[in-house]
Structure 1
Amino acid sequence: MHLTAPATRRTGIRDTDGMAVASFVLGLLGLLVLNVFLGPVAIVLAAVALCRGTGRPGRALLGLTLGVADLVVLVAFMQADQSISWSF
C-alpha cells in the first residue's frame, strides 16, 4: 500500500502540470482562432492547475492571462465589428 501512494501523487502532479501547459497553449492559440471557446477553457484549466498545486505555476499564470486576453480581444473586435465573430 505504501508503494501506490507516491505513484498516485506523481500522477496528480503530472496531471496538473499538463493542465498548466495546456492552458498556456490553448490561451496562445485562442488569440488567433476560436477565442470565444479557447479563452474560457484556458482560464478553467489554469485555475484548476493552480488550485491543485501545479509544479509549473508560471505556465498556469500565463495560461490564465492569455485566456483573459482572448476574451478581451474578442470583446474589442466585437465592438469594432458589431458582430459576434471576427476575421483577419
Structure 2
Amino acid sequence: MQLTARRSAGVRDTDGMAVASFVLGLLGLLVLNLFLGPTAIVLASVALIRGTTRPGRAWLGLTLGLADLAILLAFMQADASISWSF
C-alpha cells in the first residue's frame, strides 16, 4: 500500500513539472524569457525522464522554453542589448 502511494505521488510530481514547464514556457514568451525559458526546459526534461503521464505538455514546455531563448537571441541581435521590451 505504501509503495502505491509513493508511485502516485511521484507521478503527480512529474505531471506537475510538465504543466509548470508549459506554463512557464508560455509566460516566458512575454516576460523574463532569460530565466523562464531555461527553467521550462529543465522542468520538461526532468518530467520526460521520470516518465510523466502528460508527455505532450512536457514536450510543449520544452519547445516553448527553446522558443523563449530563440526570441531572446533574435531581439538581442536586433536591439544590440541583453534585454528587450514591448
Partners of 2:80 and 2:45 in 1: CA distance: 31
Partners of 1:26 and 1:68 in 2: CA distance: 12
Candidates 45, 52, 55, aligned match of 1:54: 52
Runs (5+) with no aligned partner, structure 2: none
Quote how far apart the aligned CAs of 1:74 are: 0.1
Q: Say what the alpha-carbon RMSD is for the aligned residues.
A: 0.2
Q: Which residue of 2 aligns with 1:64?
A: 62
Which amino acid counterpart does residue 38 of structure 2 have in structure 1?
A: P
Identity of aligned residues (%): 78
| Large movers: runs of 4+ above 4 Å | none
Give CA deviations for 1:25-68 in whole Å, capped at 9, x if unaligned: 00000000000000000000000000000000000000000000
What aligned pairs does 1:7-86 form with structure 2 within 5 A after superposition? 7-86=5-84
For normalisation by structure 1, the TM-score amounts to: 0.97
Partners of 2:73 and 2:19 in 1: CA distance: 25
Partners of 2:51 and 2:85 in 1: CA distance: 37
Runs (5+) with no aligned partner, structure 1: none
Q: Which is higher, the Rg of structure 1 or of structure 2?
A: 1
